[in-house]
Amino acid sequence: MGLWDKLRQASGDIRKLWRSVGPDGYLQYKRWRVHERKRVDRERERGRERAKDAAEQKGDKAEREREYDERYTREREGDIARERTEQAEEMEPDR
């Protein structure tokens, strides 16, 4: 059984070398690449969310401004109509 133990040990050593788990090994590089890819994906997703939020806020602001302009126009038209009726009443001769 000594031969089998030596073969098992040698195959384990070969597997370790093949896996290259050292700091400069392929698996470390692969883990780093996966980590970087996920980080970039998260940053892109955050960027998309920020852009979506900014667009939504811009749309909300434009809507509020439009509503304000419409309300201001209606109020101004009402004021003008009231002023005209007051002027017309002042211009009528008293009977």
What is the span of the domain harbouring residue 80? 21-87
Provide long-range contacts, Cβ within 8 A and 24+ apart, for 28-33.
none
The domain total for the chain is 1
Residue 36 lies in a domain: yes
Give residue-wise pLDDT tens across range 40-85: 999 999 999 999 999 999 999 999 999 999 999 999 999 998 998 8
User: What pLDDT, on a 0 to 100 scale, did the predictor assign at position 14?
Assistant: 76
Q: For residue 48, which phi and psi values (nearest 5 degrees)? A: -65, -45
Give the integer Cα–Cα distance in Å for 63 and 70.
Answer: 11
Asked if pLDDT for residue 93 goes beyond 70, the answer is no
Q: Residue 11 domain-assigned?
A: no
CB environment 51-87: b (16+ within 10 A), e (fewer): eeeeeeeeeeeeeeeeeeeeeeeeeeeeeeeeeeeee
| pLDDT of 57 | 96
pLDDT at 13: 76
Residue 7 lies in a domain: no
- Look at residue 87 in the predicted model and tell me its pLDDT: 85
- pTM for this one? 0.49
pLDDT of residue 94: 59
> Does any domain span residue 1?
no
pLDDT tens string 23-46? 777 878 889 999 999 999 999 999
Position 15 in a domain: no
pLDDT for residue 50: 97
Distance of CA 84 to the CA centre of its chain: 52
